[in-house]
Amino acid sequence: AQSVTQLDSQVPVFEEAPVELRCNYSSSVSVYLFWYVQYPNQGLQLLLKYLSGSTLVESINGFEAEFNKSQTSFHLRKPSVHISDTAEYFCAVFATYGGSQGNLIFGKGTKLSVKP
Amino acid sequence: DAGITQSPRHKVTETGTPVTLRCHQTENHRYMYWYRQDPGHGLRLIHYSYGVKDTDKGEVSDGYSVSRSKTEDFLLTLESATSSQTSVYFCAISESIGSGPNEQFFGPGTRLTVL
């Protein structure tokens, strides 16, 4: 079965510092990976996704993630964080079964806290 | 924003009471999902639907049932609520997968407290 491990439950960081949120997944033939962000008292929003092609994917707000097949990782990075990046971040893998059907398997989340 | 609403947004109920949560979409997406979110567990899939009257169980389906009689509505029912079902419930939708998974869009959530 597919699984996702987010290695840090909480990451405190100062504003304008770089940050890396770590995510490892269980190996599978076809891998589709996602990062979602949840701001306080809101639902989840897609931040970025890897389906195929370039192993480095970027979001519109400065985050990027790199798919590393050999290390089965999909770490999320940002070179300089803002207070507004404070949120919980979820890594997810799409688990396929029986043709094109499948579901997202989520990690337990990493709470990013950006301090002034 | 994807047109997904959940009702009610907050509910407090007592153990043993039946509860129904509603998810409504205006996107005409084929797939709909119910997740629960608990601290330290992330999101876990309860049930999902791949079409009208087509549903299947997820990871944590015990104690829950679902129904989908129309494309736009996906109902989650707790037949007899228990305190362990206190959680935040999220509905999500996505379109046909095709050659790979499409993005899931999430609703605003329903906070359920079972006393």
Report CB contact under 8 Å: B101, A107: no
Candidates A46, A100, A109; nearest CB to B42: A109
What confidence tier does A41 reach under pLDDT thresholds 50, 70, 90?
Answer: confident
Q: Which of A34-38, A42-46, B85-89 has the lowest mean pLDDT?
A: A42-46
Contact residues on chain A for B49, CB-CB shorter than 8 A: none
**φ and ψ at A50, to 5 degrees?**
-120, 120
Contact residues on chain A for B50, CB-CB shorter than 8 A: 101
Q: Looking at residue A111, which CATH number applies to its domain?
A: 2.60.40.10
CA nearest to A40 within chain B: B108
CB A34 within 8 A of CB A14: no
Query: Residue B106 corresponds to which amino acid?
Result: F
CB B74 within 8 A of CB B88: no
Number of domains in chain A: 1
Question: What residues does each domain of chain B span?
Answer: 4-114
What confidence tier does B1 reach under pLDDT thresholds 50, 70, 90?
Answer: low
Query: What pLDDT score was predicted for residue B86?
Result: 97
B75 touches chain A (CB under 8 A): no
Query: What pLDDT score was predicted for residue B96?
Result: 65
Residue A111's domain comprises: 4-115
Candidates A102, A107, A109; nearest CB to B101: A102
Contact residues on chain B for A107, CB-CB shorter than 8 A: 42
CB B45 within 8 A of CB B56: no
Contact residues on chain B for A36, CB-CB shorter than 8 A: 106
Q: Give A82-115 pLDDT, tens digit per residue.
A: 999 999 999 998 876 555 567 788 999 999 999 9
Using a pLDDT cut of 70, give the percent of chain B over it. Answer: 93
Quote helix, strand, coil % in chain A, to nearest 5.
5, 55, 45
Question: Any residues with CB less than 8 A from the CB of A31 and at least 6 apart, and which?
Answer: A25, A50, A67, A69, A93, A94
Angle at CA A98, nearest 5°, toward A108 and B107?
40
Tell me if the domain spanning B4-114 has CATH number 2.60.40.10.
Answer: yes
Q: Give B29-77 pLDDT, tens digit per residue.
A: 989 999 999 988 889 999 999 889 999 999 899 999 999 999 999 999 9
CA distance A78 to A19: 5
